[in-house]
Amino acid sequence: MKNHFILIQIIAMFALAIFFSECEKDPAASANKIQQGNTTIEMNAIYTGYYLQVRYNNVIDAAIHATVRVYQNGKTMDAPVNIPAGYQSLQNWMDDDYLNVWNYNGYYDSISTNGLPVITGRVDSVKIIAVSSPDKEYGFKIIGGNIDWSSFYHPADLKTTVSFISNKDTVLYSDYDFSSGAVFYNNTSKMYRFGLFNMTYQMVSGIANYPLQQGITMDVPLFIYFWNGRNYGLPPEGPLAGTNGSTLQLTITKVSATHFDAAFSGKVWASRLADTLFISEGEIKNALLPVVE
């Protein structure tokens, strides 16, 4: 019996040695783990033919660290993905559904400027092999293809709107502020340039001061918009530029730390258009503040 007891002790010690040996190896193996948590974020990676794209269905106040394995001609390369907390670069999927998108073209990603492995040549496939976050509340589920998403991100961001009456037409544009376009201020020309809603609404101011302040009014010599399948308003250029004109004026009605509102009205005419545009009840709501160029 004594010998049997000693044998059992030896076997138990051997088993514990194996267990702790495996535990010591686990940290290396855990580098290729998908973190689990109470809140699951779906994620995938694709290669567009030009750059690697990582997509996930949330915007979170926590960093994300992942590794994407790139397969090329029987070889592999691991690309690091380090997304900061609060990162938001939304891509519309359908209707009001959005995905958060991080791009990596081998030379830079959406955040870094150097220090990343270069992806060159033909890419056969890509796969996320590891993903984690310092916030252990979050877990991740790696999905494939383009139609496997079970849920999407729905923005709570402000919507930028532009509305006005042009002769008999009531015109309205609306989109989330992060995708509605931008307003620029040129330090050389001292003019504001509005290029909103995929350039379907364009406006250039006369000389005006920066930054925007509530109550200031500026002339608008150039006003162009696309509506009902055609362009309205033309730039004052070419030999007939002298027969083009605008009395349009824009007044800043509200300025916050991030956005502004404005009102505009007047008339615009051009020699190449059959009618004068009488613009009234023009409003810009929740436009992002101008970017200085």
List of residues 6+ apart from 52 with CB closer than 8 A:
45, 46, 68, 70, 79, 103, 104, 105, 106, 119, 126
CA angle 94, 100, 103 (to 5 degrees): 115
CA angle 54, 26, 135 (to 5 degrees): 45
Q: What is the pLDDT of residues 158-193, one digit of tens each?
A: 999 999 999 999 999 999 999 999 999 999 999 999
Label residue 12 left, alpha or beta by phi (over 0 means left) and psi (-120 to 50 means alpha): alpha
Query: Could you give the CA distance from residue 47 to residue 283 in angstroms, rounded to a whole number?
Result: 42
Mean pLDDT of the chain: 85
Would the pLDDT of 105 be above 80? no
Cβ atoms within 10 Å of 264's Cβ, excluding its own: 21
Q: What is the pLDDT of residue 269?
A: 87
Would the pLDDT of 112 be above 70? no
Rounded mean pLDDT, 117-134: 90
Rounded mean pLDDT, 46-50: 89
Find out whether 66 and 52 touch, Cβ atoms under 8 Å.
no
Query: Could you give the CA distance from residue 173 to residue 19 in angstroms, rounded to a whole number?
Result: 64
Q: What is the pLDDT of residue 231?
A: 86
Q: Return the percentage of the chain with pLDDT > 70, whole number.
A: 81
Cα–Cα distance list, 162 to 183, 195, 224, 287 (Å): 13, 12, 13, 9
Q: What is the pLDDT of residues 232-272, one digit of tens each?
A: 887 655 555 556 789 999 999 999 999 999 999 999 987 76
Q: What is the pLDDT of residue 270?
A: 77
User: Sign of dihedral through CA atoms 128, 130, 132, 137?
Assistant: positive
Q: Return the percentage of the chain with pLDDT > 90, whole number.
A: 67
Assigned token pair, 226: 């696309």
Q: What is the pLDDT of residues 206-227, one digit of tens each?
A: 999 999 999 999 999 999 999 9
Q: What is the pLDDT of residue 118?
A: 76
Find out whether 189 and 202 touch, Cβ atoms under 8 Å.
no
Q: Greater confidence, 29 or 87? A: 87
Assigned token pair, 101: 């998108």
Query: Could you give the CA distance from residue 254 to residue 11 in angstroms, rounded to a whole number?
Result: 79
Q: What is the pLDDT of residue 29?
A: 35
User: Sign of dihedral through CA atoms 141, 142, 144, 146?
Assistant: positive
- pTM value? 0.75
Q: What is the pLDDT of residue 145?
A: 72
